Amino acid sequence: MTKKYFGTDGIRGRVGEHPITADFFLKLGWAAGRVFASEGHGFVLVGKDTRISGYMFESALEAGLTAAGVDTRLLGPMPTPGIAYLTRTLRAQAGIVISASHNHYYDNGVKFFSVQGTKLPDKIERKIERHIDSPMTTVESSKLGKAKRLVDAAGRYIEFCKASVPTRLDFSGMRIIVDCAHGATYHIAPHVFSEVGAEVVTIGAEPDGLNINDECGATKPEKLAATVLAYRADFGIALDGDGDRLVMVDHKGEIVDGDELIYIIAKARLDEGLMSGPVVGTLMTNLGMEHGLKKLGIDLLRANVGDRYVMEMLAEHKGILGGENSGHIICLDKTTTGDGIIAALQIMAEMQSSGKNLHELKSGMEKYPQVLVNVKTNKKINPAEDEGIQKSVKAVEKKLGDTGRVLLRASGTEPLIRIMVEGRQEDSVKNYAHQIAEDVKKAMGA
């Protein structure tokens, strides 16, 4: 059964447009509270990133939870993975994150974590949705929930992050730049990296409610690259607005994406004898990573795009490492969800243990050029069932052989056919992508 409000990563949209409105969040808080109250007794954690609308939605959720008779612990600005961690260790009934992750300030959203620090099961989300569509009531006054602020939330999470790498490692020789994207890690990430011994220069750590992810962070690492070169730093760390993505920059100013970082961590785990199961990527994971892992004797499985699907496949195949090229990196041997700070610490630990810099570590994997072309559609078309499109795809796949691949998919949110071609020669890849795009247009009668 499809869900009405919840997507693959909670509920997200433009602030002021349904369902990202104060009245909906009030009802959502009440509906979630009703469900959590029926599941057992306990409190719910509520945290947020730094966008200005977070104040409004925090208050609305608190009021709804209170009306349902559920106690609330308010965390204030906290990274999404930090809220997952605190939900688990404080044994809260659930954790609620108010964030639109890497989106701009005018978007917002909400996602939930279970007491295990993982995404809520579908059946619980469906229960919440059923309550949203029923009349709101308030419990008798003596049974109203109470709200408190948890003042030591940041400190607890900082210590957890630091504990993800061995204390014997000395990072005192490292000069690093940390870009917090003016987001939820602004008061946490600089402390973590400096307290493990690194010399830290911080950028993107002055949130004003409107500048989250604005030309900075994991989605825009160019400013970080320039800062790394200007300070002659060893490397740079770019997080996104809610701290669950990581992109890095090496000492030459070259961007190191999620696929390359996952490869480095996988090789490190293998060298330590700690690798377990396959690595799980997505349909968009670079073919170079698949080939690089194969040389190490590690299998790569591909899930649909989205960290929820990566998590499901990791659980199914008993893996410990997975993620996306966008920088979602899941180290299940360290935590329960994607965590940019913890992933960065794993890379730093490998640099220190191996004596290699980031540029040398990523060189074990050859990243293939990847070209994306979007074709607007004027009618519903399934590229997998269209004979003309499939003929074009197969012709390109034959030319690429085992050194490239083609991926076509209809967008789930826009009237687009997304075409991705990947291979060793960038010029050829571009030509193939545009050739297929023209054939898609012909199939639509354009």
Please tell me whether 101 is known to bind a ligand.
Answer: yes
Question: Which residue carries 């390109």 as its tokens?
Answer: 396
**Number of residues that make up the chain:** 446
User: pLDDT, tens digit, for every residue of 40-56?
Assistant: 778 999 999 999 999 99
Task: Give the pLDDT of residue 2.
Answer: 77
State the average pLDDT over residues 419-430. 94
Closest CA to 326 of 312, 345, 340: 340
Please tell me whether 250 is known to bind a ligand.
Answer: no
The answer to whether the CB of 12 falls within 8 A of the CB of 20 is yes
In this structure, the dihedral spanned by the alpha carbons of residues 198, 196, 212 and 118, taken in order and rounded to 10 degrees, is: 150
Task: Give the pLDDT of residue 383.
Answer: 80
DSSP secondary structure letters along 362-410: HTTS-PPPEEEEEEE-SS---TTT-HHHHHHHHHHHHHHGGGEEEEEEE
Question: Which residue carries 């796949």 as its tokens?
Answer: 397
Please tell me whether 107 is known to bind a ligand.
Answer: no
Instruction: Round to whole Å and give the CA distance between 198 and 190.
Output: 10
pLDDT above 80: residue 381: no
pLDDT above 90: residue 193: yes
Confidence of residue 121 (pLDDT cuts 50, 70, 90): confident
Task: Give the pLDDT of residue 264.
Answer: 98
State the average pLDDT over residues 155-164. 98
pLDDT above 70: residue 372: yes
User: pLDDT, tens digit, for every residue of 250-288?
Assistant: 999 999 999 999 999 999 999 999 999 999 999 999 999
- The answer to whether the predicted template modeling score (pTM) of the entire model surpasses 0.85 is yes
What is the Rg, in whole angstroms, of the alpha carbon atoms belonging to the chain? 23
Q: Give all domains of the chain, ordered by start, each with its CATH number.
A: 11-150 (3.40.120.10), 170-362 (3.40.120.10), 370-443 (3.30.310.50)
pLDDT above 60: residue 446: no
Task: Give the pLDDT of residue 41.
Answer: 78
Query: Residue 320: CB partners within 8 Å, gap ≥ 6?
Result: 269, 275, 276, 277, 314, 331, 332, 333
Which DSSP letter does residue 297 get?
T
State the average pLDDT over residues 404-431. 88
Please tell me whether 240 is known to bind a ligand.
Answer: yes
Catalytic annotation, residues: 101
User: pLDDT, tens digit, for every residue of 401-416?
Assistant: 989 999 998 776 677 8
**Secondary element (H or E) of residue 314:** helix 307-317
